[in-house]
Structure formats: C-alpha cells, structure tokens
Amino acid sequence: MMDSMKKVAKSSCNDGFLLRVGLNDNKAGMQGLDKEKINKIIMEATKGSRFYENELKKDQQVNQRIEKMMQLKGKITTQQLLKAQLQVDRLVIELEQSRNLSSTIVHIDMDAFYAAVEMRDNPELKEKPIAVGSMSMLVREILAEYDSDFMPVGLDEAYLNITEHLEERLNWPEDKRRFFFNTESTTGRDKDDMNMSDKCNERECSSSPVLFDDNTSLTDDHLEHRGQSMENAVVFGTSAEEVVKEIRFRIEQKTQLTASAGIAPNTMLAKMCSDRNKPNGQYRIAPKRQAVLDFLEDLPIRKVPGIGRVTEKMLKALGIVTCSELYQQRALLSLLFSELSWRNFLDISLGLGSTHLERTFSEINTAEDQYSLCRELCRDLAHELQKEGLKGKTVTLKLKNVNFEVKTRASTVLSSVSTEEEIFVVAKDLLGAEIDSVAPHPLRIRLMGVRVSGFLSEEEKKYHQKSITSFLKSGKEIGFLRLQPEKSNQEYFAKNSEASQRGSFFDQKRAARQLNSESLSPNDAVGKQVSRDTKSSANFVEETKKVTGLQSSNLCKIFTCPVCFEEQSSSNLEELNRHIDECLNATLIKDTAEISKNDSSRQNTLNCLPQSKNENVGECQKNKTDQLARTYQSTSTSDSSTNNSTGKFAQIISDKSHRERQPSSLSDIARNVCMKQCLFPKRISQGNEDHFEKTEHTEGTSSSCSFEAKEDSVLVCPVCNSEQKTMSLVSFNRHLDVCLNKGLIQELTEKPDFPTKSFSMENSNRVGLD
C-alpha cells in the first residue's frame, strides 16, 4: 500500500493532484495543520476511485492548458511585448486616475470553522445544536445600523459600506457608542477582553457555538442591559477600527460566535483583509495608495477572491506567485489571457475593486407587482437604448430572492429589440418561467434587473473610429485620453451606468465596452445597481464619473504626447489620440525594423543562455520571449534573480550592484529593448564577465549589425529613436528616464493622490553603470 502510494506520489501528476485534491494551506486557518499528513490520507483514501481518476484527468487538462499557454508565450515577439507594455501601462495610468480611496468597506466573516474546531475540542458541546443562522438575520439585528444597504454573501459573510456611518458617528456622544457585555452568556470571557485595546487580535476562542436563528429573541442591547453597572460596559471610539470592533463585539454578544473583519477602500481588499487576522481578528488597509500596494506586494495571488487553484497553477508556470509579480508581468499577461482575465489581473495587482455595495429593495412577492416592476424596468431601459440609438438581441433578467440568491435568465431573439414593449415581451417570459418554477409558492424577490445586450448600434455602422463606441468596444485601444469629449459627463454616465449584471468589475467594464444597457431598479428612486457579486457595477459608474471628470480638466491643459513628448497644439482628443497612434506606430515600426535586423542573432544568443532552474517552466524556458520576460522581472526586482531562472541573462544586462525593488515598467521594457540593441558589447554592459563571454560567443559570427555597429557608434533611444551623442550610460539612462517619464509622470505627479514612488510606477531603473 505504501509503496504504491509512493509511486503515485512520485508521478508527474503529483504536484497538480495534491494541489487539486489536497490541502492548500495558503488559505486562512490552515497554517497549523499537518498538510502533508492529511494529503497522504486523502491520497490513500481516494486512490483508485473514480474520483481520483477524474481528478487526474482534470489535472492533465490543466497541464495541457499550461502547455498551450507556454507555447503561445514562445511565439510572442519582442515588439509585441513592447507594444503590449505601452498599452497596458496607458491603462494603468487610467486606472490609477480612477482609483477611489474614499469609501470604507468592511467585510465581516463569521468564524464558523473555528466554532467547529472548538466543538471538536469540547465534545460535550456536540450535544448542543450547532450555530445556525445567517448574516441576513444579523441584518436586521446589527449590521443594518451601520449600513442599511449592507450586503450579505452566503450565510456567514457580509459587506458593509460604513463610509456614511463614520461621518455621522463623529458627532455621536459616548452613549451611542456604549455597549454592554451579556453577563448571562456562558462564554466565560474576561471583561478585559474588550477593553478597547487590541484584544481582538489575540485570537481567543472565547465563545462556544450555540444556537442562534431568526426565531431567537434578541432584545435591544440597551433594554437588555438596562440597570447594569457601567463596569460591564464598553465604549467604542469613532474610527473605522473602533466601529468594526464594535460590530464584532455586538455579533459575539448576540450569537456567541466570533467574527473576523477586514476594513479597506474596496470590497476585494476588505475581503482579503478579513482573512488576515482570522479568527476573531480584524485588519485594516489605510485608504492610501501606498498602503494598498504594500499590502499586495508579497500577497500570494491565491489569496485573491476569484483566483482558484487552476489560475494559481497557470500563473505559477509563468513565475507569478505574488500580486506584485502579477503586476510586473502585466504586459505578458495581456498577451496570454483573455481581456477579461488580464484586466482582472491588473485590477488585482493594483488593488482596485468595487467601492460600492449593491442595494436591494424590500420583498416583492406577488406576480402582479413583479410584472409591473419588470415593465417599469423595460421602460427605463428602452429609454436609455433609444437615447443611444441602440438595439439589442439578448434580454437578460436578473432576480435575487429573499435569501439573496441571484439568478440570471437570458433569451436571445432574432430581431433586435429597443422599445419597452419589445423588451418586455421577452423579459416577461423569463420572469414567468421563474414564477412558474417555484409555483405554487410565490416568487419572493428583492431585486430585479433587466439588461439588453448584443448590440449593433447606429453609430457603429458609420465611421466614427474614435467615438465612444470604438473606445468601449476595443479594450486594447483604451488609452488614457481616449474618452469621448463630445459627450457631456451626464450622458456618458447615463450610458455606462447600465452596467452588466454579471459580477466582476471587469465584467462591467467589458459590458460597458459592448455598450450593454441595463436598468436595475430597486424601489428607491435612485436606481442603484444591484448584483450579487461583491464588485458591483456601481463601481464602474463611479469610476467613469471620475475619469470623465479628469478628462474634462485635461481638456484645458496643454497636452504632451506620452510617446514623443512633444507638446501638442490641439486640445481635441480625437486629434491627440490620432497623434498618439501615429507616434506609437512610428516608434514601433522603427523599433521593429531595428530589432528584426538582428533577430536571428538575438535568437541564438538567447537560446544558449543558461538553463532555468525553475522546475515550473519547461522547455519553453529557452525561448527568447520567456527570457525576456524574466529579464524584466529580474531587472526590476532586486532579489528575484536568486530565486528564478532569470538569472544569468539578467545579470548580463542589469546593474550588478544595488537595486531597489522595482517594477518592470514601461521604461524597463524600453530599456531592455535598448539593451538588446546596444548593451551587449562588453565595454558597455559591465556585466558578469563569464556570462557575457557566453553571450558574446554565441552571438558569434552572425555578427549582427546591432552589436557590432553599436559597439563603435551610438546609443539609440528606443523611445524617441534619436541617436544619443553620449556613450555614457549615465547620460543615456538619464535621457531614457526623461524620454519615458517626462509627459506621464509630470501628468501624474500633478495629482496629489498619485505618489510616484511605488512598485507600480517607479521608473528610475538603471541599466549598466550608474
């Protein structure tokens, strides 16, 4: 038995299999477990079973996906990567400008698992009923006091937007912030436990799981504790941390279950924060860009909601484990993954997420009301569509029931729809089907949304290349200045506020690009977005507003082209965009020409670089793109050269001495190209001699004009393509910095909320000698 197990364990599939069926102690709460032992048990118990076979098969499929990806990667050319880098970095700037740090989002997560553990450790508790309840109960009881629109997710999680509460709370007297210990509870807790110090981080499992459910009588704290001495009271402060401590305190008093919480400027970060000090703890990311980036820097991508074991494995094959690595490889990722995926990766690595929670209305349970609401939504939607001259073929109905379960039902019709009646005909069928599905019970919903997608716009038929339509349709064309100047903010907002009902932030971005139009209408007149996903579409609305606002202000400024850095006389965005395109293309063409001249020699050079030690990267390791990609990584990260293969190639061209942790930014990539063109000659590179010799040797007699010619002549800036008079790398680097950063950084540093020093925007990388 053990022998056969060992065999399995040594099989090539083992890693993936363990990853798949085994434990991943990356997730919170698993750190203390003997992972290996448990994996062994699982392996033993499941070996030979159908389950096991199936898992092996699935794992093979994942491996094939990875292989496919690596092959794709091998075909990526330097210029493709360069262009991708430019485009992605433009988007980064745009995203940075729209970063919203003004909200305070809290994610509450009940420590159910730990309750179970405690129960295990105290077998006598097994006779008691295990905790049963839901956050929707705590809706009503506690959380709604902090955010009336708080969003339960599943049974044991909830998001709150406490931004408004924090403002109000500043003026609250102590009385309103005083809460009492439930002395009748049997938790045996020490009162000091909650004396406003940071006890909440001490991970005390002070309470036992007991029953709480919707029928439990939960009287108001003040009534319950009337007459109790102040010794049993605790007063919470007015900060976000204090608010969350208060919430957790009250939850525990009510339910005798502990909860963990995260506080952050958006939902994604908040969720990851609640994981940080679990159980019975909390963590906050300050609403500062640098704080967000610091939090993310070494965070394993697996911690990110939405990144599961498959994505983790695929990214690991690219050498990406942490969020900062995810950022560093953004250009490569944009070429290897779908737009939705890589933009999601980019969002993650920048720490961007939804800053708004969805809103729900109170229950609607009669078919009549539901049809009525549906028609109303169709009417609003039809308005929006007609205003934009759009017709769509797919109508989607979204419903959330009273248990916060969300369903979407879609129907595609042959002819496009745009009027209220046309949309309603389709939507009511979808609604009717849902009503029938639960009959004879009534359909009990608290959210409805209608969306129309699959457009062919009038606008699209005409030539209007730089229109908002093309901007939104082609993600890769998004430039930070490519926003429709003709439209007023109001119109722009209206158009894009009808975001996708699908959950993620990028879904909505994409939806917006497709000019989807949707109208979601809770019973309040505002028409807030509602979706189950934590990344609500409202976020997009907000960001859109911000971006548009910035664009407006940009119109008043003299514009400097981020490629050629010449000031542009025109303030017309279309013209500017055209200029950028031309400028970019011109640069790329020149680069391409120069690079391709030496392509064969470079290929040889790269192919004979020292092999990788990274077992996650297979044969493709040898290809030049891979090497190049890794070069970016290593030139940008001081300590990465020791733990990945990069290695030696990187040393050839990178500064051998001190180097700060830096990103592979636009300038990095440009420099790398530059290095390839100019810096291989020994006297310039100043790299590791041994490795250089290899490089030189392999380059051999192919005698690329690049190397030899440049050796004697000049350094050519890969950005502006002008020959540089100097042979001093210091001067040359200075020129590169100026050339690359001039316009962009200047633009950015004018924004107070955009410090230039960070892993994402640092551009002071040096090559060669300083």
Give the residue, chosen from 356, 502, 659, 671, that forms a contact with DNA under the rule CB under 7 A.
502
Beta-sheet pairing, 282-284 with 259-264? parallel
Whichever of 353 and 663 has its CB closer to DNA, that residue is 353
Residue 438 or 586 with smaller CB distance to DNA: 438
> What residue type is 41 in one-letter code?
I
Confirm or reject binding of residue 394 to DNA (CB under 7 A).
yes
Q: Is 539 in the site for DNA (CB under 7 A)?
A: no
- Helices first, then strands: H and E counts in the chain: 33, 15
621: DSSP letter: G
In the complex, the smallest distance separating the C-beta of residue 257 from DNA, rounded to whole angstroms, is 15
- Does 633 participate in binding DNA (rule CB under 7 A)? no
- Told to check if 304 binds DNA by CB under 7 A, we report yes
Q: Does 340 bind DNA (CB under 7 A)?
A: yes
First to last CA, the chain: 61
Report 29-48 residues binding DNA (CB under 7 A).
29-30, 33, 38, 42, 45-46
Q: Using alpha carbons, list the distances in angstroms from residue 423 to 383, 393, 428, 525.
A: 11, 9, 8, 21
Q: Does 258 bind DNA (CB under 7 A)?
A: no
Tell me if 504 contacts DNA by CB under 7 A: yes
Nearer residue to DNA within complex by CB, 69 or 166: 69
Q: Which of 252, 533, 668, 699 binds DNA (CB under 7 A)?
A: 533
Handedness of CA 690, 694, 699, 703 (dihedral sign): positive
Q: Is 432 in the site for DNA (CB under 7 A)?
A: no
Q: Pick the stretch among 58-66, 189-197, 283-291, 457-465 that binds DNA (CB under 7 A).
A: 58-66
Q: Which span sits near DNA by CB under 7 A: 153-161, 195-203, 260-268, 473-481?
A: 153-161
Residue 343 lies near DNA (rule: CB under 7 A): no
- Asked whether position 422 contacts DNA by CB under 7 A, the answer is no
Burial (CB count <10 Å: 0-12, 13-18, 19+), residue 20: middle
- Could you say which DSSP state residue 210 is in? -
Q: Per CB under 7 A, does 408 bind DNA?
A: yes
Site membership for DNA, residue 6 (CB under 7 A): no
Phi, psi values for residue 538, rounded to 5° = -60, -30
- Asked if 113 interacts with DNA (CB under 7 A), we say yes
Nearer to DNA, 408 or 603 (CB): 408
Residue 155 interacting with DNA (CB under 7 A): yes
Q: Could you say which of 254, 271, 579, 691 contacts DNA (CB under 7 A)?
A: 271
Q: Report if residue 571 touches DNA, rule: CB under 7 A.
A: no
Q: Under the criterion CB under 7 A, does residue 444 sit at the interface with DNA?
A: no
The whole-angstrom separation of Cα 290 and Cα 273 is 16
Q: Kindly indicate which of the ranges 408-416, 574-582, 588-596, 673-681 contains the residues binding DNA, using the contact rule CB under 7 A.
A: 408-416
Long-range Cβ pairs for the range 90-93 (8 Å, 24+): 90/478, 90/479, 90/480, 90/562, 91/343, 91/346, 91/478, 91/479, 91/480, 92/330, 92/346, 92/350, 92/760, 93/480, 93/744, 93/747, 93/748
569 CB neighbour count, 10 Å cutoff:
10
**152 sits near DNA (criterion: CB under 7 A):** no
Q: Which of 235, 410, 608, 714 binds DNA (CB under 7 A)?
A: 410
Q: Which of 4, 5, 51, 722 binds DNA (CB under 7 A)?
A: 51
Q: State in angstroms the smallest separation of the CB of 683 from DNA.
A: 46
Order across the sheet with 105-110: list the strands: 151-153, 157-161, 105-110, 259-264, 282-284
Shortest distance (Å) from residue 400 CB to DNA? 8
Half-sphere exposure (Cβ direction) of 104: Cα atoms closer than 13 Å: 19
Q: Determine if 338 is a binding residue for DNA (CB under 7 A).
A: yes
300 contacts DNA (rule: CB under 7 A)? no
Nearer to DNA, 334 or 504 (CB): 504
153 touches DNA (CB under 7 A): yes
What is the DSSP secondary-structure string of 157-195? EEEEE-HHHHHHHTT--GGGGEEE--TTS-----GGGGS
Residues 304 and 272 sit within 8 Å (Cβ to Cβ): yes
Residue 405 in the binding site for DNA (CB under 7 A): yes
Indicate the residue among 506 and 649 with the shorter CB distance to DNA: 506
State in angstroms the smallest separation of the CB of 408 from DNA.
4
Of residues 58, 444, 464, 742, which one binds DNA by CB under 7 A? 58
172 binds DNA (CB under 7 A): no
Phi-psi category of 339—alpha, beta or left, where left has phi over 0 and alpha has psi -120 to 50? alpha
Dihedral class, residue 29 (left if φ above 0, else alpha if ψ from -120 to 50, else beta): left
CB of 302: closest distance to DNA in angstroms?
8
Looking at 74, 305, 432, 681, which residue binds DNA (CB under 7 A)? 305
Query: Binding residue for DNA (CB under 7 A) from 8, 9, 23, 218?
Result: 23
Q: How far is CA 486 from CA 355, 466, 515, 644, in A?
A: 28, 11, 17, 49
Our finding on whether 122 is near DNA (CB under 7 A) is: no
Compute and round to an integer the Cα radius of gyration of the chain: 29
Cα 464 to Cα 474: distance, rounded to the nearest angstrom: 13
Query: Residue 312 interacts with DNA (CB under 7 A)?
Result: yes
Q: How far is CA 748 from CA 94, 343, 367, 745, in A?
A: 10, 21, 53, 5
- The 3-state DSSP class for residue 358 equals coil
For 260, list phi and psi in degrees, rounded to 5: -110, 160
- Site membership for DNA, residue 507 (CB under 7 A): yes
Total binding residues for DNA by CB under 7 A?
51
Instruction: Kindly report the three-state secondary structure assignment for every residue of 745-766.
Output: HHHHHCCCCCCCCCCCCCCCCC
Strand segments (E) across 208-322: 233-235, 259-264, 282-284
By CB under 7 A, tell whether 306 contacts DNA. yes
Least distance CB 758 / DNA (angstroms): 25
655: which residues sit within 8 A by CB, 6+ positions away? 766, 767, 768, 769, 770
Record the tokens describing residue 644, joined without a space. Answer: 């990945």
Cβ of residue 532: shortest distance to DNA, in angstroms? 6
Neighbours of 247 (CB within 10 A): 24
Which range of residues in 85-93, 467-475, 531-539, 643-651 is near DNA by CB under 7 A? 531-539
- Interface with DNA, residue 397, by CB under 7 A: no
Residue 522 engages DNA in binding (rule: CB under 7 A) = no
In angstroms, the CA 214 to CA 168 distance is: 29
Q: Which residues contribute to the site for DNA (CB under 7 A)?
A: 23, 29-30, 33, 38, 42, 45-46, 51, 58, 61-62, 65, 113, 116-117, 120, 153-157, 271, 304-312, 337-338, 340-341, 394, 405-408, 410, 412, 501-504, 507, 531-533
